[in-house]
């Protein structure tokens, strides 16, 4: 590898080579130097926050050494590189994860300490925990000081975070590219039952996990015009894009440590800065303040994450974010490629770019622009390179999420890119015409330009398909659906080989080892794997099967669950102003029923809360007809319904669902007659670090989307991996989860995706009313049972079912939902052994859903990339 340091100086460099800490002692020394030198604090004013920062800095030091070596190794071997472009990386906290993944050079085991934690599944984490204790700090408290890196909305963003973990763990030479938002997803407060959004200024106390690369500044242009000289060349020839607004993109790097490997990959997040260019005209006119203010506006590009999940909000600033990030990332990728001095035609052999949904689609156009306008390649030669480089993952079939940008906006912001899009479309439509002559309908259906009545728009998904060599869905059902619905015409045009499936996965390091240390320990003991190798090969979990009915083992298994339920109850108490929702003594025999995810009508939290209301009303009826509490308990055993999730700030119906949940909680939790038999709680500000406490505590979790709407879901995998059972519809990855764990171990119900169209049609034209069980619920709501001050408060939820066609088919699935819930109660309370057996068998067979498997599939079938293993 090249360097400008003269040969004779290298000896000195090597003599003073930095070293990782390997022992508790060395860690403490490093910690104290960071307290003193990095934070300029001391023994006398080191609080938990400072301790968190000094610990993170120390751990980061170790990671940076491996990070540098990883980059050097990859530069030397020059393998095919993978770039994962995602507008969202919902990383959560970094420190605990780093402690679990990090390797010290000597892979420290017992360091002479007799603390019992050192004798079990020994990792650097235990070593540091003890070292912290000696320094006067509790690791748990220190970890709690870290704000979540909440640079994402939901499933799509968290998937990207699991992927970078697995790519590092699998030693893939892979980088993530995203944006460094100053404000992540808003913090959610619940005030009088309503969601209130407050800003998430997560960088407040500075972020020890990022390394600013201030020396790299990529100029990014917007607006302006295209110049093709005097004699009007064709748009296919190199053209100049001139003028407009200019900002700088500065990268911040986050080290991504693999598990049980010294590979540390990079997540590069771009931040917008003003240029140092200056408007001298304004300045000379004496308008110094305004000339600075305009520049300052540059920073607004990366100020805030758009808080919508599965929904397009067509704002100019969002399009600016997208281009800013695509252009900066491609500049970086191309610069790195050029260092290798290879021919352009080899670009696709050197690089694979995966685009996470359509948000990075402009990267396709930008690469074409770079190749044609700047590198002067022939248009078709360039296009061949582009299409062999990109691959596209679709994450939703929801119409309202499919990105479309008005031609007028795109053309103004990116005039040259619009020309290129037109040309891409032109050649594409010519090919279609050749294959399917005179099919005007087909041409207009697949055109990248939608000629709708109001405004012509660019269909980003179509552009993404045309510009990629592979298109994948995220679960089998979803990948089949996109081929028969939204992308049907493209299957006809390209053949079905272009379309493939990679079922989602989750990282077991965070979602098992980190979130559920007790279960992880029980597993490693039981399958005799003290080194936690099962976290790399989850098929090892099948060894648990033989203990599924072993009473002693079942007891241990149950104890872990009880511990985790207690931990969640403690969190809820803290969030609930110190008031317990469930009495301690009752936790053990209370079923924890959890639904946590973004609030969306298609995810049907409304059906869940209607089910709770139904249960409540029926219990009341039983009591009023003279039944004793004991008799009621027989039919409706103790249960707490826990909800959590954010609504997009502008999503009226989702916000109303949150309010309904809180209003029902208010009534049910304060009903003396019902006692502790039924409780409802909405956990405010659901995020990754809360999910780590919530997920291990479920007995049952709900994944009850209208069939065909949830592309995959990933929390379903997390809950099962933590020994919770699922109630769910035949949707997304629930289908494959069922196949893996067995249909006896999951509670499926409801209509199938194939029947949805017909049911919707029926609602439109023959309104048959709602089933009696649901009518009872809706009537109570309408009578103000949960809104005594305002009986019509929840009418929009009622109307959407009764009068507006029940698009999400709540009325069609409600009875099956209720009866399946009753079945759940019976198994849980009547046959605990059976329940535990299901739970154990589920974990034993969930290995398929490790994101390691998922990344391997991408590498083999889409990227054609190989790992680069450290020696």
366 binding ligand 6GP? (CB under 6 A) = no
Closer to ligand 6GP at the Cβ: 304 or 548? 304
Which of 401, 493, 535, 774 binds ligand 6GP (CB under 6 A)? It is 401
477 to 516: interface string for ligand 6GP, x by CB under 6 A = ---------------------------x------------
Q: Which stretch binds ligand 6GP (CB under 6 A): 153-161, 176-184, 585-593, 777-785?
A: 153-161
Interaction of residue 159 with ligand 6GP, rule CB under 6 A: yes
For ligand 6GP, the closer of residues 679 and 853 by Cβ is 853
The DSSP bridge pattern shows strands 245-257 and 264-274 to be antiparallel
Taking CB under 6 A as the binding criterion, the range among 128-136, 152-160, 180-188, 281-289 that sits at the site for ligand 6GP is 152-160
The residue from 357, 532, 685, 806 that contacts ligand 6GP (CB under 6 A) is 357
Least distance between ligand 6GP and beta carbon 589 (Å): 33
**Contact call for residue 732 and ligand 6GP (CB under 6 A):** yes
Nearer to ligand 6GP, 124 or 734 (CB): 734
Residue closer to ligand 6GP by CB (options 590, 712) is 712
Q: Report, in Å, the least distance between residue 398 CB and ligand 6GP.
A: 8
To the nearest whole angstrom, how small is the minimum distance from the Cβ of residue 162 to ligand 6GP? 9
CA–CA–CA angle 400, 403, 405 (5° rounding): 120
Nearer to ligand 6GP, 239 or 715 (CB): 715
Catalytic residue among 718, 802, 837, 853: 718
> Which among 792, 798, 825, 822 is positioned nearest to 811, based on CA atoms?
798
CB of residue 511 vs ligand 6GP: minimum separation in angstroms? Answer: 14
Do you know the residue count of the chain? Answer: 871
Distance CA 637, CA 588 (A): 12
Residue 158 CB, nearest distance to ligand 6GP (Å)? 8
* CB 807 to ligand 6GP: min, Å: 17
In angstroms, the first-to-last Cα distance of the chain is 17
For 23, 63, 127, 188, the CA distances from 111, given in Å and listed in that order, are 7, 21, 8, 44
Count of residues binding ligand 6GP (CB under 6 A)? 18
CB nearer ligand 6GP, residue 472 or residue 554: 472
From the candidates 478, 598, 659, 690, give the one annotated as an active-site residue.
598
- The two structure tokens encoding residue 230: 């005097």
Q: How far is the CB of 273 from ligand 6GP (least distance, A)?
A: 28
Choosing from 30, 597, 646, 838, the catalytic residue is 597
Closest CA to 21 of 67, 60, 48, 73: 60
Output phi, psi for 203, to 5 deg. -90, 10
Question: Which x/- pattern, by CB under 6 A, does the window 651-670 give for ligand 6GP?
Answer: --------------------
138 is a catalytic site residue:
no
In our burial notation (b when 16+ CB lie closer than 10 A, e otherwise), range 593-607 reads bbbbbbbbbbbbbbb
Say how far residue 715 (Cα) sits from the centre of its chain: 10
The angle that helices 772-782 and 810-830 make with each other, rounded to 10 degrees, is 100
Among 396, 701, 821, 851, binds ligand 6GP (CB under 6 A): 396
Q: Is the CB of residue 351 less than 8 Å from the CB of residue 334?
A: no
Query: Could you tell me if 255 and 209 are in contact, meaning their C-beta atoms sit under 8 angstroms apart?
Result: yes
**Residue 210 near residue 146 (C-beta atoms within 8 A):** no
Which residue, among 294, 289, 259, has the nearest Cα to 274 in the 3D structure? 294
CA-to-CA distance for 581 and 502, rounded, in angstroms?
A: 41
Residues 297-316 that bind ligand 6GP (CB under 6 A): 309-310
Specify whether 714 is catalytic: yes
The per-residue DSSP string of 615-668 comes to HHHHHHHHHHTT--HHHHHHHS--EEEEEE-PPPTT-HHHHHHHHHHHHHHHHH
Q: Which among 87, 851, 168, 751 is positioned nearest to 474, based on CA atoms? A: 851
**Phi/psi at 181 (5° precision):** -70, 135
What are phi and psi for residue 86, nearest 5 degrees? Answer: -145, 130
The minimum distance between CB 710 and ligand 6GP, in angstroms, equals 5
> Which of 73, 395, 614, 718 is the binder for ligand 6GP (CB under 6 A)?
395
The one catalytic residue among 395, 513, 655, 690: 395
Contact pick of 24, 132, 156, 859 for ligand 6GP (by CB under 6 A) = 156
Residue 298: closest CA among 284, 277, 280: 277
- Closest to ligand 6GP by CB, 224 vs 307, is 307
User: What is the closest distance, in whole angstroms, from the C-beta atom of residue 646 to ligand 6GP in the complex?
Assistant: 12
Distance of closest approach, residue 399 Cβ to ligand 6GP, in angstroms: 12
Query: Which is nearer to ligand 6GP, 253 or 357 (by Cβ)?
Result: 357
Q: d(Cα 709, Cα 843) in Å, to the nearest integer? A: 26
- Smallest gap from Cβ 160 to ligand 6GP, in A, equals 9
Give the contacts of 270 (CB within 8 A, at least 6 positions apart): 177, 178, 179, 180, 218, 249, 250, 251, 252, 302, 324, 325, 328, 329
The smaller minimum CB distance to ligand 6GP, of residues 678 and 688, is found at: 688
- For ligand 6GP, the closer CB: 601 or 825: 601
Active-site annotation holds for 603: yes
Tell me the CB-side half-sphere exposure of residue 287, using CA atoms within 13 A: 10
Catalytic residue among 361, 714, 729, 820: 714
Angle at 821 between CA 190 and CA 793, to 5 degrees: 35
Comparing every residue's Cβ against ligand 6GP, the nearest one is: 155
**Sites for ligand 6GP among residues 580-639 (CB under 6 A):** none
Judged by CB under 6 A, the stretch of 208-216, 395-403, 425-433, 753-761 that binds ligand 6GP is: 395-403
Which pairing describes strands 240-242 and 225-227: parallel, antiparallel, or unpaired? antiparallel
CB of 178 to ligand 6GP, least distance (A): 14
Give the residue with the Cβ less far from ligand 6GP, 723 or 732.
Answer: 732
- Whether 202 and 147 have beta carbons less than 8 Å apart is answered as yes
Q: Is the CB of residue 729 less than 8 Å from the CB of residue 709?
A: no
Site for ligand 6GP in 830-869 (CB under 6 A): none
Q: What is the full DSSP assignment across 803-850?
A: TS--TT-HHHHHHHHHHHHHHHHHHHHH-HHHHHHHHHHHHHT-GGGB
Nearer to ligand 6GP, 460 or 770 (CB): 460
Minimum distance of ligand 6GP from residue 820's CB (angstroms)? 21
| CB nearer to ligand 6GP: pick between 310 and 322 | 310
The one catalytic residue in 34, 470, 603, 679 is: 603
What's the 3-state SS for 574-597? HHCCCCCCCCHHHHHHCEEEEEEC
Window contacting ligand 6GP (CB under 6 A); options: 148-156, 720-728, 744-752, 845-853: 148-156
156 and 356 Cβ atoms separated by less than 8 Å: yes
From candidates 92, 121, 147, 154, binder to ligand 6GP by CB under 6 A: 154
Find the binder of ligand 6GP among 326, 407, 474, 688 (CB under 6 A): 474
| Residues in 706-725 that interact with ligand 6GP by CB under 6 A | 710-714
Binding pattern for the stretch 420-459 against ligand 6GP, x by CB under 6 A and - elsewhere: ----------------------------------------
Q: How far apart are CA 869 and CA 853, in angstroms?
A: 17
Q: Which residues are catalytic?
A: 395, 597-598, 603, 714, 718
Q: Which residues contact ligand 6GP (rule: CB under 6 A)?
A: 154-156, 159, 309-310, 357, 395-396, 401, 474, 504, 710-714, 732
């Amino acid at each position: 590898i090249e360097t400008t340091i003269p040969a004779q100086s290298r000896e000195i460099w090597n003599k003073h080579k930095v070293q990782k800490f390997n022992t508790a002692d060395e860690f403490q020394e490093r910690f104290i130097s960071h307290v003193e030198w990095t934070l300029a604090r001391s023994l006398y004013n080191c609080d938990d926050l400072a301790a968190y920062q000094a610990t993170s800095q120390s751990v980061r030091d170790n990671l940076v050494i491996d990070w540098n070596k990883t980059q050097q190794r990859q530069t030397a071997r020059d393998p095919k590189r993978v770039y994962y472009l995602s507008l969202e990386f919902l990383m959560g906290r970094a420190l605990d994860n780093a402690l679990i993944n990090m390797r010290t050079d000597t892979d420290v085991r017992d360091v002479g300490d007799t603390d019992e934690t050192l004798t079990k599944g020994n990792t650097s984490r235990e070593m540091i925990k003890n070292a912290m204790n000696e320094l006067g700090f509790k690791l748990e408290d220190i970890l709690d000081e870290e704000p979540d890196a909440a640079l994402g909305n939901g499933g799509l963003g968290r998937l990207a975070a699991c992927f970078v973990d697995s790519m590092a763990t699998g030693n893939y030479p892979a980088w993530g590219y995203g944006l460094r938002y100053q404000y992540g997803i808003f913090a959610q407060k619940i005030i009088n039952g309503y969601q209130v959004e407050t800003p998430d200024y997560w960088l407040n106390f500075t972020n020890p996990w990022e390394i600013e690369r201030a020396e790299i500044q990529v100029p990014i242009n917007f607006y302006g015009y295209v110049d093709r000289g005097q004699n009007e060349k064709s748009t296919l020839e190199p053209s100049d894009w001139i003028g407009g607004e200019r900002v700088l993109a500065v990268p911040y790097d986050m080290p991504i440590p693999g598990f049980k490997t010294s590979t540390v990959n990079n997540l590069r997040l771009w931040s917008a800065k003003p240029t140092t260019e200056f408007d001298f005209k304004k300045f000379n006119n004496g308008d110094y303040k305004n000339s600075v203010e305009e520049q300052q506006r540059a920073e607004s590009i990366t100020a805030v994450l758009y808080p919508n999940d599965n929904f397009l909000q067509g704002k100019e600033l969002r399009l600016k974010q997208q281009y800013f990030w695509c252009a900066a990332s491609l500049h970086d990728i191309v610069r790195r490629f050029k260092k290798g001095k290879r021919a352009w035609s080899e670009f696709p052999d050197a690089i694979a770019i995966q685009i996470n949904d359509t948000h990075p689609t402009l990267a396709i156009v930008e690469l074409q622009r770079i190749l044609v306008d700047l590198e002067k390649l022939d248009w078709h030669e360039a296009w061949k390179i582009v299409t062999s480089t990109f691959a596209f993952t679709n994450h939703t079939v929801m119409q309202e999420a499919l990105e479309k940008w008005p031609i007028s906006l795109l053309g103004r912001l990116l005039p040259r890119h619009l020309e290129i899009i037109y040309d891409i479309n032109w050649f594409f439509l010519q090919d279609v015409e050749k294959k399917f002559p005179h099919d005007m309908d087909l041409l207009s259906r697949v055109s990248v330009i939608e000629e709708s009545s109001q405004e012509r728009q660019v269909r980003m998904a179509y552009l993404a398909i045309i510009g990629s060599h592979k298109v994948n869905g995220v679960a089998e059902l979803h990948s089949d659906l996109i081929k028969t619905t939204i992308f049907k015409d493209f299957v006809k045009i390209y053949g079905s080989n272009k379309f493939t499936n990679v079922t989602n996965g989750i990282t077991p390091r965070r979602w098992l080892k980190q979130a559920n240390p007790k279960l992880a320990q029980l597993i490693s003991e039981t399958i005799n794997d003290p080194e936690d190798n099962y976290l790399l090969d989850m098929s090892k979990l099948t060894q648990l099967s033989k203990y599924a009915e072993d009473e002693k083992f079942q007891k241990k298994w149950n104890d872990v669950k009880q511990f985790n339920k207690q931990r969640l109850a403690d969190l809820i108490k803290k969030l609930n102003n110190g008031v317990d929702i469930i009495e301690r003594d009752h936790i053990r025999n209370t079923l924890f029923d959890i639904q946590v995810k973004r609030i969306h009508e298609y995810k049907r939290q409304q059906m869940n809360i209607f089910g709770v209301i139904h249960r409540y009303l029926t219990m009341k009826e039983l009591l009023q007809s003279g039944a004793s509490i004991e008799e009621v308990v027989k039919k409706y055993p103790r249960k707490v319904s826990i909800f959590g999730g954010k609504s997009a700030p502008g999503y009226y119906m989702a916000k109303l669902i949150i309010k309904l949940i809180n209003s029902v909680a208010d009534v049910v939790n304060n009903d003396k007659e019902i006692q502790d038999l039924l409780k409802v709680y909405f956990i405010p500000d659901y995020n990754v670090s809360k999910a780590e406490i919530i997920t291990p505590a479920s007995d049952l979790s709900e994944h009850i989307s209208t069939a065909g709407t949830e592309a995959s879901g990933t929390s379903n995998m997390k809950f099962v991996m933590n020994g919770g059972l699922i109630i769910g519809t035949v949707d997304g990855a629930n289908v494959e989860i069922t196949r893996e764990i067995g249909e006896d171990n999951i509670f499926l119900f409801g209509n199938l995706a194939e029947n949805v169209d017909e049911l919707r049609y029926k609602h439109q034209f023959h309104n048959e009313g709602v089933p009696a069980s649901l009518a009872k619920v809706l009537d109570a709501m309408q009578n103000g049972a949960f809104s005594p001050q305002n009986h019509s408060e929840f009418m929009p939820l009622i109307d959407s079912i009764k009068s507006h066609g029940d698009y999400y088919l709540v009325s069609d699935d409600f009875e099956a939902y209720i009866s399946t819930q009753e079945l759940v109660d019976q198994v849980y309370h009547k046959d605990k052994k059976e329940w535990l057996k299901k739970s154990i068998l589920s974990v034993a067979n969930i290995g398929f859903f490790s994101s390691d498997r998922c990344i391997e599939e991408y590498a083999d079938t889409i990227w054609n990339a190989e790992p680069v293993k450290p020696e």
